[in-house]
Structure 1
Amino acid sequence: MSVTAGVRVRVPAKVNVQLAVGAARPDGFHDLANVFLAVGLYDEITVTPADELRITCTGPDAAQVPLDHTNLAARAALALAERHGIDPRVHIHIAKDIPVAGGMAGGSADGAGALLACDTLWSLGSSRDELLAICAELGSDVPFSLIGGAALGTGRGEQLTPLEVGGSFHWVFAVADGGLSTPTVFREFDRRTEGTPVPAPSADPALLDALRTGDATALAGALSNDLQPAALTLRPSLADTLTAGTTAGALASLVSGSGPTTAFLTKDPDAAEEVAQALLTSGTCRTTRVATSPARGATVVG
């Protein structure tokens, strides 16, 4: 059966415009104040009936995507099927466009997309709350991939409060060679903060106000990522990428999530194209992507 038959879902990448990290909890997770913004880079997940659960993937860096049951898309199908007593005999095809292991929640997006696609294919009609509960079991970033837009994530990031966004923001993402493991970055954060008090994370009112008013300059002044020092320790070359982007005229730069993708906020689409070209010319990244936010969450498109 062709991968174009069945149900197709489009799901966006994200950038963390604020990532405030608390001390490690007894369960190993960290309390977060995580302000998510969905951006217009998308994976497309197509689910079709099959003899058994299997996964295929095409697109940039597809070779790095696991095709076994550790893939979040497979785990989503299995979790939904188990909840409803269904045999999850589906072919899940991932058309990859979100950078892999880049701190942009590409794996989480695939999980949310597969969950919505399977729910639609199996005509389950699950409520958003039911789907969000499964998403939270799958991973901290998966619920946001489902809802998109902008949201504050608390707890370990899975408890979402939607946020108002008053305009469009224009971004450049510089994709590095190789990935950074999120658990490794958090371990480095713990190492760097050991023996020092770590304040309880909270959302920055100035950042929330900048989102609400659509003020790119104000947002640039409020961007923050508590994981950035850890990511730069593990991948010092990212500092050169950040400098290249700001030198080229970006309003602000930061490591996206746990990295190693770096994000650059620009004043308008023309500036984004200029910064993207300058970053490519600088030789400090493998490729660049231009995108606008906010973007819709997981959406059935076919």
Structure 2
Amino acid sequence: MSAANISSASAPAAAPASVRVRAPGKINVSLRVGPLRPDGYHGVASVYLAVSLFEEITATVTGEPGITVTVDSDGPLQVPVGGIPLGPDNLAARAARALADYADNPTGVHLHITKRVPVAGGMGGGSADAAAALVACDALWNTKLSREELAGIASGLGADVPFSLLGGIAVGLGVGDRLTPAISKTPLHWVLVASDAGLSTPAVYGALDTLRGEQQLQAAEPEDVDPAVLAAMRSGNARDLAAVISNDLQAAALRLAPELGALLSTGERLGALAGMVSGSGPTVAFLTEDAAAASALEAALRAEGHRALAVEGPVAGARLAAAVAD
């Protein structure tokens, strides 16, 4: 259903007039990438970890039909928002339109997005916005869809959107949307470092294909993740995990943004157990021993001029934070 066709009828009496939803960014603790497929996608086998850096959407019923979007940012990573689309191509707006097909009386809605996850940073910030919009509009329009039904809609919006709904830890197969929850006994502590410019995910995958062609590497379709990664996460042993984290996209991201190599070396020099490019990058994630070590590394990186933030995971997926009645 297009935004122009969404009815401006009043929301059901039981529905709030405004809701606020938070959804987390993610780190790909392990990411295996298969060869380019005929459909233009790459198969992956990934371990996703939702971390305590949250996107936030405030969704408000409007008196006019349609979906409108505004964006700002706050938080220590100082995320720039100038290039984010505010029209129908915005992923949160697309999520709201997709959900409108399941609502009896979908009102007009305004989505205000507060960005904290780096844009085009390899942490699924746009996917978190879409997941938050699904949860928010489900509450506004009183659609009463189950999490499984919302996940079905999410899978049509992008490979990372279902995990943004789920949160926690999960193994992702296929294009990343076939999820199996996993567990961790204790929180894992990381320090994120944001870059001044983003990286295009398709460009990074394209660079990976080029690198493999130059090196005459024949990548296999990944069927599962490294069990050593899951074992380390289950135990909560950061040192064991540091020995096995990996990202097939890292070499491609470094080709497109070579300065990330120096950043990885800096983080490890300052005390990180290990560092890696998150997803397609360019955000870099450093694993630390514990919360105190993460705090110390954040301070040391900031002292050298980097936009760094200590986070932990796993955390829950998209959740309602507040609702305001009419």
Q: Same fold (TM over 0.5)?
A: yes
Q: Which amino acid aligns with 1:147?
A: L
Q: Of the candidates 163, 172, 180, which is equivalent to residue 153 of structure 1?
A: 172
Q: Of the candidates 40, 44, 47, which is equivalent to residue 28 of structure 1?
A: 40
Q: Residue 83 of structure 1: CA displacement?
A: 3.8
CA RMSD, aligned part only? Answer: 1.4
1:210 corresponds to which residue?
Answer: 232
Q: Which moved more, 1:65-74 or 1:107-116?
A: 65-74
| Structure 1 residues 98-151: Cα deviation after superposition (integer angstroms, max 9, x where no partner) | 111111100000000001100111011111111111111000100000010000
Structure 1: gaps (5+ residues): none
**Distance in structure 2 (CA, Å) of the matches to 1:301 and 1:274:** 30
Q: Which amino acid aligns with 1:236?
A: P
Are 1:238 and 2:260 counterparts? Answer: yes
Q: Which amino acid aligns with 2:191?
A: V
Q: Residue 276 of structure 1: CA displacement?
A: 1.6
Are 1:103 and 2:122 counterparts? Answer: yes
Q: Which amino acid aligns with 2:320?
A: V
Q: Residue 89 of structure 1: CA displacement?
A: 1.2
2:4 corresponds to which residue?
Answer: none
Q: Residue 86 of structure 1: CA displacement?
A: 5.0
| SS at 1:109 equivalent | helix
Q: Which of the pair has more CA radius of gyration? A: 2
Q: Of the candidates 165, 180, 192, which is equivalent to residue 173 of structure 1?
A: 192
**Distance in structure 1 (CA, Å) of the matches to 2:269 and 2:17:** 47
Tell me, yes or no, if the aligned pair for 1:45 and 1:113 is still in contact at 8 Å. yes
> Structure 1 vs Structure 2: percent identity of aligned residues?
49
Q: Which amino acid aligns with 1:227?
A: L
| SS at 1:76 equivalent | helix
Query: Structure 2 matches for 1:276-287, cutoff 5 A?
Result: 276-283=298-305, 285=306, 287=307
Runs ≥4 in structure 1, deviation > 3 angstroms? 83-88
Q: Of the candidates 277, 298, 302, which is equivalent to residue 318 of structure 2?
A: 298
| Structure 1 residues 129-175: Cα deviation after superposition (integer angstroms, max 9, x where no partner) | 11111111000100000010000000000010000111111110010
Query: Structure 2 matches for 1:1-302, cutoff 5 A?
Result: 6-50=18-62, 51=64, 52-59=66-73, 60-84=79-103, 86-87=105-106, 89-194=108-213, 195-201=216-222, 202-283=224-305, 285=306, 287-302=307-322
**Superposition TM-score, scaled by structure 2 size:** 0.88
| Structure 1 residues 179-228: Cα deviation after superposition (integer angstroms, max 9, x where no partner) | 00000000001111124210232201110001111111111111000000
